[in-house]
Amino acid sequence: MRIRPAQPEDLPSLAGSLGQAGYFADRLDRQLDDRGILLTAWHAGVVIGAVYLWLEPAEEREIRTHLPGTPLVTHLEVHPDHQGRGAGTSLLHASEWLLACKGYREVALAVEVGNERAERLYTRLGFREWPHSQVKCYSSAEGNGHRIVETCKVLVKPLPG
């Protein structure tokens, strides 16, 4: 498996493997403006996963207030045929390494209440729930432009200095 930042020419591969062409086009545009980083995982020349590192101020007021300037791991996704084989863990490790190299001291993410599989992964990798309340988070826009509001736990992890 190879992990690298996405390039504009990766959009057809991302959409073909993971769907959501509009979402990935938006994240590639944000990456070009240095507002985030879209990391991709590849196996045998095919995209098998992706994660977006949100470097802009958080959309959620509570996260902006309690974690100003903290990057967010968002939209970690692994193709169903490759789940449970370490791709998600590898994407998270690559994210942490990249953010630490850029001088960030911590990283955060929001996990939907009830998504126990994802929460177990994040906890196993050292993320801990913050001491504040749960947050209403906004999912990425669907094809119809509507956004889903999810109740989430916010998890934070210190990065190596």
- Could you report the per-residue pLDDT of 99-143, keeping only the tens digit for each? 999 999 999 999 999 999 899 999 999 999 999 999 999 876 555
DSSP 11-73: HHHHHHHH--HHHHHHHHHHHHTTSEEEEEEEETTEEEEEEEEE-SPPSSHHHHHHSTT--EE
Percent of the chain's residues with pLDDT above 90: 89
pLDDT of amino acid 161: 78
Residue 146 has pLDDT above 70, yes or no: no
Residue 56 has pLDDT above 80, yes or no: yes
Single-letter amino acid code for the residue at 38: L
Tokens coding 111: 């996990």
Residues 6+ apart with CB under 8 A from 121: 88, 89, 92
Prediction pTM value: 0.93
pLDDT of amino acid 139: 73
Measured from the Cβ of residue 63, the count of other Cβ atoms closer than 10 Å reads 23
Cα(139)–Cα(155) distance, rounded to whole angstroms? Answer: 17
